[in-house]
Structure 1
C-alpha cells in the first residue's frame, strides 16, 4: 500500500480518488517481476497505433464509419497474426506461473 500522509488536507479529494482505484491501478504488482514492465508499458499499443496511422494515411478518407471499422479490424487481425508466435520479454521465463493463474 502507498502512504498518503503527505498533503493530506490540500489534496484530500485526489487522495480519496487514488484510494478508491488503488487496487486496480497497481494490479500489475500481482504478476511476476519479469513481466511487469510489459504489462504497464504502452509500447505494444503505440506500435499498433503507428501501424494503423501508416496504413490509413494513403487512404485519406473513409466513405463510412463501417469501412473504417472494417479497415481497423483487418489491420488488428493482421497484426495479431504477425506476432502470434512471439513471446514477449520475460513471459517465457514465467509461462508456468501464468498458466497456473488460469487453472
Structure 2
C-alpha cells in the first residue's frame, strides 16, 4: 500500500473531510511536480555541486492560486536565476483545472507501472522538452512513487485488528461500499492504518 492510500484510510478512520484531504494531497503533488520539472530543466538536484558552475540556479518561487474540483490550491512556482524556466505543469494564466487532478491521481495511484508513468509524462511535457528530459523526469516521479509503495512499518504493535467503514464510491454509479482497514495500536496507544481493501459489502470472509 502506498503513502496516499494509507493516509486516505487514516482519514476515514478519523472521520475527516475527504474533499479537504484530496485538496491537501493534490496541492502537495502539484508543487512536487513543479519542483521536479525545474530539477530536470536545470539538470541537477538541489544543493548539488553541479550548480556552482552551471551558469543558472534556483531562484526562489512565486505564489499563485489554482481552482480544482477539490478546492483552491496554493501553488509555489519555482524560478531560475536566468529567467528561462517556463513550467508546464500548470498552464500560465489559467486559474482552473480540466485534467490535472486525473493526471496526479494516476501518477500516485497504487500499482502505476513505469510505462504508464512515462506515457503520462510524455502527454504532459512531451511537446516542450526533449525525450531525454522526459526520461529523467519519469525517473524522478517513479522514485517518489516507489518510496511511497515500499515504505516499511517501523513500529511495534501491541494489537492489530480489522474494522470496516462505508463510504460512497463512484464506479458506473455511486454506491456505498465497505472499506476494510487493518489498524495497529502501538505501545503508546496510537492507532495507525497498516493496510486496507475495498469490497462491495461487509463480510467476515474478507
- Please indicate the TM-score interval, normalised by the length of the shorter structure: 0.3 to 0.5
Normalised to the residue count of structure 1, the TM-score between the two structures is 0.33
Q: Higher RCO, 1 or 2 (CA under 8 Å, sep at least 6)?
A: 1
Normalised to the residue count of structure 2, the TM-score between the two structures is 0.19
Which structure shows the higher strand fraction? 2
Which structure shows the higher helix fraction? 1
